[in-house]
A and B are shown apart, each in its own frame.
Chain A
Amino acid sequence: MTARIKRWPGVELGAADLYEGKVTQTRFRPDAKYAWSAGEAMSRFLEELQRGRFIARTCTGCDRILFPPRMFCEACFRPTDEWRYIQDTGTIETFSISYLDRDAKRITDPILVGVVSLDGASPKMGLMHYFAEMTKEEIRIGMRVKAVWRPPEERRGSVLDVRYFRPLREGEG
């Protein structure tokens, strides 16, 4: 903007203004809770996780094995065809080394997180998850990894039934 405009609206406040009550304010905590029906695809996906397995759906229209599974193919716009188990090994597509924990607080021991594309599904079909049993110097795109499952009695039908993915060892997968 040019010298034509003289006034820039906006009154800046500092954190203290708000937290020390120097500015008139009103507070409210919304009561907003949801329980989403998982639907057919995700319900089966979660049941299988509890059994220690990854399951996908096939689409014969585009010849893909879709993971996470879905009841419709977004490329063909048609219902998907069959359930298909896939492996719990895969490849790291990308990752981050996070010094922020779940509550965005700083941590010194970083969390390794990223996307792993799973063997048995079509290329690039991935899942976001944690990585462990590797250092932040060792983690790299292209690393071959395998899921580490919680013991059966601890699984609840959640992506957290997998603790993390660890490097694939010689002779595995």
Chain B
Amino acid sequence: MRVGIIGVGMTAFRPSTPEYSWKELMFEAAARAYADAGVDPRTQVDSFVTCAEDYYEGFGIFDEFVPDQLGAALRPTCTVSGDGLHGLASAFMQIQTGLVSVAVVEAHSKASDIVTLEGVLEHGLDPIWTKPLGAHPYVLAGLEADAFLRATRTPRRALDAVVSKNRRNGLRNVRAAYGADVDEAQVASSPEAFSPLRRLDVSAPADGCVVLVLASEAAARRFRAEPVWLRGIGWSSESPSIGTREGPGAGYARDAAAMAYRLARIRRPAQEVQVAEVDDRFSFKELQHLEALGLAKAGDAGRRALKGDWALDGRLPVNPSGGSLGGGNVFEATGLRGTAEVALQLRGEADGHQVDGARVGIAQAWRFVPTATGAVAVLGVGR
């Protein structure tokens, strides 16, 4: 059966949100999503799925702290330790079983509450092989970036183009945390951080929350005449260790996309997809992911970035919302934010960064350093 998105709720994404506790942040996004869907969470929602990791939140069992602000007290609720897209996949599967008609998916970042963000990221490294090296966790991103640039012969300038595009796109998105008129020269001259990456190649953290309401086709029609359909979803993992992966090509994204495209019956993604929100938390990831998703041929994403193909007015707008470089790194909420943005695009509600006439879009995310895990969602409107 088809599964539709009937409600989208997002808070703004900001560098910090001192006036809100994480609970109040979640309440706001949920209230927006339920208002958008016209749904009463206390009586009309069958399942709630949240996406969180204890160490990002600072609690031993974060699941305890989710229900009240989502309207989920005494309701079926669970926490997926994954990106928002993993939560989306779970809700999709729940609905497909027939047990659940309406499901809510939530993910957020309250990174500003984390005093030692690097320490938390470092804690994700393999305790036997990687932690003892004492390297900053982003070194892994630098290594991967280096391998990717060499293998694909992508010019370093292409990364500057990605950063500039996404920061500028952020200026057109009221929700984005880091919209700025950054040009390629500025990126190229920013200090080296995790070579070959420079400081401006790395997205800065932001706070924010995203809540989506999903429904089976039958239930969706009761709420919205034209839902945005979740046509396909896929997720996959590669080896947790950078040393034993197949190569610098984001195989997890390729495999996740294969599953999502299969479900969505997309045979020629480069032709059929009209808008994409792709994980760009390090600039090179946008290019690496575009190739893995089959939206660009292997080795070609960088050249096409320089040509302007991925720009808001390009052949296939990528990260029109500003992505993470422009919107801020919202950790486990990344994929769900991308999904929300694509849904708004397909509804024609993307305000200053609308891609005209988009009818098929994809949202993709990765679980950040040090993982090789990611997921992809394909959205569409109409038949």
Contact = CB atoms under 8 A, between A and B. Distances in A.
Contacts of A39: 19-24
Contacts of B118: 31
A33 B120 CA distance: 8
A71 B123 contact: no
Interface stretch (B125-133, B246-254, B341-349): B125-133
B114 interface: yes
Interface in B98-116: 110, 112-116
Contacts of A31: 116, 118-120, 122-123
Interface residues of A, number: 22
A70 B68 contact: yes
A77 B41 contact: yes
B55 interface: yes
B42 A75 contact: yes
Interface in A27-65: 28, 30-42
Contacts of A71: 24, 27
Q: Chain B interface mostly helix, strand, loop or mixed?
A: helix
A88 B344 CA distance: 50
Contact of A26 (B20, B23, B113, B127): B127
Contacts of A74: 67-69, 71, 73
A34 B69 contact: no
A72 B69 contact: yes
A105 to B, nearest CB: 20
Interface residues of B, number: 37
Contacts of B71: 74, 77
A126 to B, nearest CB: 16
A36 B132 contact: no
B183 interface: no
Contact of B115 (A35, A38, A41, A42): A35
A76 interface: yes
Report, nearest first, the 5 A-B pairs whose CB atoms are least far apart.
Answer: A39-B21, A31-B119, A34-B58, A74-B68, A77-B71
A41 B25 CA distance: 12
A26 B129 CA distance: 10
Interface of A: 26, 28, 30-42, 70-72, 74-77
B18 interface: yes
B237 interface: no
A28 B128 CA distance: 10
A39 B18 CA distance: 7
Contact of B123 (A30, A35, A40, A75): A30
Contacts of A32: 55, 58, 116, 119-120, 123
Contact of B24 (A26, A35, A40, A76): A40
Nearest to A77: B71
Contacts of A37: 17-22, 110, 112-113
B138 to A, nearest CB: 15
Given A39-B21, A71-B24, A74-B68, A26 B131 contact: yes
Contacts of A41: 21, 24
A31 B21 CA distance: 22
B116 A33 contact: yes
13 contacts: A28-B123, A28-B131, A32-B58, A32-B116, A32-B120, A34-B114, A36-B58, A37-B19, A37-B20, A39-B24, A71-B27, A72-B24, A74-B69
A152 B71 CA distance: 38
Contact of B113 (A35, A72, A77): A35
B356 interface: no
Interface in B31-52: 31, 34, 40-42
Contact of A75 (B21, B40, B73): B73
